[in-house]
Amino acid sequence: MDTSIKERQIAEFCRKDLLEENQNQVIKVSCQTGRDVKNVRTSVGTYFYDESLSNILVQKQEFVEEYYDGLKELLIYKANHGEIYSDILITLYPDGSYQFKYWFDEERLYKEEFITAAIGSESFPSTMADCLLSYDLPAINFKKKYAKIIMTLEIKVGEPVVDLRYRNGRNQIKPVFNFTDNTSQSYKESVDKILRLTGNSLLHQYNITHGIMKEFWEPWNKIIIEVPPSGILNELEDIHYYLDDKPLDKKYFTRGYFDMEKWEYVKYK
């Protein structure tokens, strides 16, 4: 790839997407991506500003796909050649010239990753409950009456272990998945997929709370989630955390909470 040609193409598409009223201004196009741009799920955000970088500008939205694809291709190419960048600032001048500035913004990335981890960690049990109730398998009809669905999610020797049971109206505990009455290969494959996805989510959550969130999150290795028929969890009654089978504090065993108004994590006093 000739990167200078690619930059020119991107700049031209950005300029074409400007409203007529902005054509004779100095325009700043801020382009931000994640830590690993080569990951297919990593997107590139583009924001058009005036020269002061204080006012976001509206664009036509006619050429977004063209400069989005070009930016991702350019960043991946540079990453494959040892140039790792997370941010680009494109300056478009009224005379048709342009300038590209590249850098890696560790501070921005860490803040975004931390906020995502904080919000996701607090909502993890509810997310798992929602996922369980969305499964459509003949093992159990979630429309029939049951007292609780009991999800036991545990990390043993670094590996996730998932156990799903339910308490019926006679207070009997039974497994959610019934391999006695359901012996087909497709059923087994569906159950294996559910357990694998749940286990992957559990391990991801464990790594987050023992990694980027470890300053705020108490160590744990087991969560028991008791899902009521409504699917709406009571934080104090339905969610239980453990470390080596010892119950942890009911205050979500965290050392703080995410303040949505301040958009930051706040430690308990």
pLDDT digits (tens, 9 = 90+) for 13-26: 999 999 999 989 99
Q: Report the CATH fold assignment for 108-267.
A: 3.30.500
Give the pair of three-digit tokens for residue 22: 């902005």
pLDDT at 18: 94
Q: Which two tokens stand for residue 68?
A: 């989005």
CATH of 3-104, one of 3.30.500, 3.40.50, 1.10.8, 3.30.70: 3.30.500
Q: Which residues contact 267 (CB under 8 A, 6 or more apart)?
A: 216, 255, 256
Domains of the chain by residue range: 3-104, 108-267
Integer Cα distance of 107 and 128 in angstroms: 30
Tell me the C-alpha distance between 175 and 128, whole Å. 17
Please tell me the distance from the alpha carbon of residue 88 to that of residue 11, in angstroms, as a whole number: 12
Model's pTM, two decimal places? 0.75
* Residues 205, 223 contacting (CB under 8 angstroms): no
pLDDT of res. 260? 65
Task: Determine the 3-state secondary structure of 257 from DSSP.
Answer: strand
Q: What pLDDT sits at residue 95?
A: 94
Give the tens place of pLDDT for each residue, 213-234. 888 788 999 999 998 887 788 8
Residue range 105-148, pLDDT digits in tens:
999 999 889 888 888 888 899 898 888 777 655 555 555 567 88
pLDDT tier for residue 177 given thresholds of 50, 70 and 90: confident
